[in-house]
Amino acid sequence: MIPRAGTLLMAAVLATYTAVADLAAKVPRRIDISVTEDGFVPKQVTTKKGEPVTLVFTRRTDHTCAKDVVVYLEDGRTIARKLPLNQPVEVAVTFEKAGERGFACSMKMHGGAIIVE
């Protein structure tokens, strides 16, 4: 009877681990990007094809033209957001194709790259 209980316990642990791993795979990874007098920091971020991510932009200075952000997606699509001072702005995205995408202020004076592996 003891071996059966051990097997049941092992199965329960494995099922719990699998459920937690599935949940973790669905929760978008957060990538923080600040807007400073030097532009977007970091200037390059990396993600995996099919991985849900949330880009979190926070403008930390008023001494820049980067008061908004445009995220360039696949197939010419974009997501544009205003960047209020010291308020995080989230952009949830999943890139389905490998390659390099970008983000920039609307004037394209400051920007960065999103590397999709």
Q: Assess if residue 23 is contained within a domain.
A: no
Residue 110, pLDDT score: 97
Q: Say whether 94 sits in a helix, a strand or coil.
A: strand
The residue among 49, 50, 44 whose CA lies nearest residue 104 is: 44
Residue 13, pLDDT score: 57
pLDDT along the chain (117 residues), means of 10: 61 59 74 97 98 98 95 95 98 96 96 98
**Domain range spanning residue 57?**
28-116
Residue 25, pLDDT score: 60
Q: Assess if residue 70 is contained within a domain.
A: yes
Q: How many domains does the chain have?
A: 1
Residue 41, pLDDT score: 98
Residue 66, pLDDT score: 95
Residue 1, pLDDT score: 54
Q: What is the CATH number of the domain that holds 82?
A: 2.60.40.420
Q: Assess if residue 49 is contained within a domain.
A: yes
The residue among 99, 94, 110 whose CA lies nearest residue 33 is: 110
User: Residue 27 has which token pair?
Assistant: 């929760």
Is there a contact between 55 and 90 (Cβ–Cβ < 8 Å)? yes
β partners of residue 82: 68
Q: Assess if residue 81 is contained within a domain.
A: yes
User: Residue 10 has which token pair?
Assistant: 């092992």
Residue 87, pLDDT score: 98
**How far apart are alpha carbons 88 and 56 in whole angstroms?**
6
Is there a contact between 12 and 5 (Cβ–Cβ < 8 Å)? no
Q: Assess if residue 91 is contained within a domain.
A: yes
